[in-house]
A = this chain, B = another copy of it.
Amino acid sequence: MLVMMQAHAAPDEIRAVCRKIEELGYRAHPIPGSTRTAIGITGNLGAVDPAPLQAMAGVAECIPVSKPYKLVSRELKEENTVVDLGDGVRIGGEELAIIAGPCAVESREQAFAIAAAVRAAGARLFRGGAYKPRTSPYTFQGLGEEGLQILAAVRAEFGLKIVTEAVDNESLELVERYGDVIQIGARNMQNFSLLKRAGRAGKPVLLKRGLSATLDEFLMAAEYILAEGNYNVILCERGVRTFTDHTRNTLDLAVIPAVKRLSHLPILVDPSHGTGRREKVLPLSRAAVAVGADGLLLEVHHQPDQALSDGYQSLLPAQFEQLIEETRQIATVVHRRLPSARLADRAVPTGQA
C-alpha cells in the first residue's frame, strides 16, 4: 500500500505516519515528490488495512498498489529518479550518462591509457572490472583489490566516476569503498543475498538485467535493493538470450519505454554485451539513445586484440569518439544531451580535489 500525504503535510505529520506504520509491524519508505510525499509500506505479507492510517493528520489517501513491486513503481513516485554522483555527474537527468572503459582492469598502464581516451571524448564515468564473473574457472578472474586501487587512481587522475562490479559480499564491501557506483552483473540479477547487501550500501547500484529475466523479475530485483533503503538504483539492459546467432545476445530496446512507463528509475543500455560484436556497437548505441535510454555502458580498449577478456566487442578509442559524435546528435532530437568534452576538462580539478 501507498500512503499519499497532502501537499501541505507537515514534516511532523509525515513522521507520525511513518511511526504508525512501524508500530503496525511494517516498514515505512517516505519518498518526497515535487508536490507531495508518498510513503511506501513494505514488510506486509497480505493486504494492509488502511483504516488506522487514513484517519491521520496530513494523509490525503491510501492507495493499494496494483503491481508486485512498490518502491520502484511510478505509482509511488511520479518524477524520474536522478542519481547524483557529485561533481555535476547525474544519471537519469537531461544529460546522458556515458560510462566507458575496458571489460577488465588489466594494469595501471592499460586503465590510464583508456581513461585518457574516453575522457577526452567526453565520458564522465569509467567502467572496468576488478572482479570478473567468467564462465570458465580457468580464465582471467580480475585483479581484485589491486584493480580497485587502479580504478581509484583513475578517478584521482582523470576526474572520472568509477563504475565497477561486485560479485559477492566481500567484493561489494571493497567496491563500496573504492568505487562510485556498485555494478551487479546479469548473472547475479537474482542473487538476492547480494541484492540485499547492495541495498544496505552507501553507494548507488547499477543493476544489469539477467539473461532471461522478464521485465517484472528485473523490477523485482531492483525492488530488493530499494526495500533495504538504497533508492539510488540504475537499471541496465544488456541483451537477452534468444535463438539468434548473428549477435551474442538480443538487445531488447523495447524494454526501455516499458521501464519508463512502470518505474521512476533510470535505465541505461550496454550495446557491447548486447551485441558482442564491435561493428554493431555504434548503430545500436544510436538506437539506444533514440529509444530513450538514459545513457550507455560501453567497452573501450586501446588494444582490443590483446585484451584479457571480451576484446572482440571492445571499441577502439577512435570508434568511441565517432560514437559520441553520432549519439550526441541523436540525443538532441530526443531533448537530451551528451556531456561535452570541455565540461569533462573542467571536471578534472574537482575530481582531483
Residues of A within 8 A of B (CB): 42-45, 68-70, 133-140, 167-171, 187-188, 190-194, 196, 211-212, 214-217, 220, 223-224, 227, 240-247, 250-258, 261, 274-275, 279-280, 283-284, 286-292, 326, 329-330, 333-334
**8 Å CB contact of A212 from B139, B212, B292:** B212
A288 CB contacts on chain B under 8 angstroms: 287
Asked if B330 contacts A246 (CB within 8 A), the reply is: no
Give, as a whole number of angstroms, the nearest-CB distance from A205 to chain B.
Answer: 14
Asked if B42 contacts A215 (CB within 8 A), the reply is: no
A215 CB contacts on chain B under 8 angstroms: 244-246
Give, as a whole number of angstroms, the nearest-CB distance from A307 to chain B.
Answer: 14
Q: How many copies does the complex hold?
A: 4
Question: How distant is the Cα of A138 from the Cα of B170 in the complex, in angstroms?
Answer: 25
Asked if A138 contacts B44 (CB within 8 A), the reply is: yes
Beyond A137-B220, A191-B187, whether A284 also contacts B242 by CB under 8 A is no
Question: How distant is the Cα of A74 from the Cα of B224 in the complex, in angstroms?
Answer: 41
Beyond A168-B169, A284-B291, whether A212 also contacts B243 by CB under 8 A is yes
Asked if A244 contacts B251 (CB within 8 A), the reply is: no
Asked if B291 contacts A286 (CB within 8 A), the reply is: yes
Asked if A258 contacts B242 (CB within 8 A), the reply is: no
**8 Å CB contact of A334 from B136, B250, B286:** B286
Give, as a whole number of angstroms, the nearest-CB distance from A352 to chain B.
Answer: 34
Asked if B223 contacts A137 (CB within 8 A), the reply is: yes
Asked if A242 contacts B246 (CB within 8 A), the reply is: no
Beyond A244-B214, A279-B261, whether A290 also contacts B330 by CB under 8 A is yes
Asked if B257 contacts A214 (CB within 8 A), the reply is: no
Beyond A45-B139, A244-B215, A280-B258, whether A287 also contacts B253 by CB under 8 A is yes
Give, as a whole number of angstroms, the nearest-CB distance from A213 to chain B.
Answer: 9
Closest CB pairs A-B (n = 10): A168-B193, A212-B212, A290-B290, A187-B190, A287-B287, A286-B290, A287-B291, A215-B246, A329-B333, A212-B241
Q: Which residue of B lies closest to A170 (CB)?
A: B193
Asked if A240 contacts B250 (CB within 8 A), the reply is: yes
Question: How distant is the Cα of A214 from the Cα of B298 in the complex, in angstroms?
Answer: 25
Question: How distant is the Cα of A214 from the Cα of B211 in the complex, in angstroms?
Answer: 12
Give, as a whole number of angstroms, the nearest-CB distance from A197 to chain B.
Answer: 9
Question: How distant is the Cα of A289 from the Cα of B143 in the complex, in angstroms?
Answer: 41
Question: How distant is the Cα of A170 from the Cα of B197 in the complex, in angstroms?
Answer: 13
Asked if A133 contacts B190 (CB within 8 A), the reply is: yes
Asked if B167 contacts A214 (CB within 8 A), the reply is: no
Asked if B167 contacts A193 (CB within 8 A), the reply is: yes
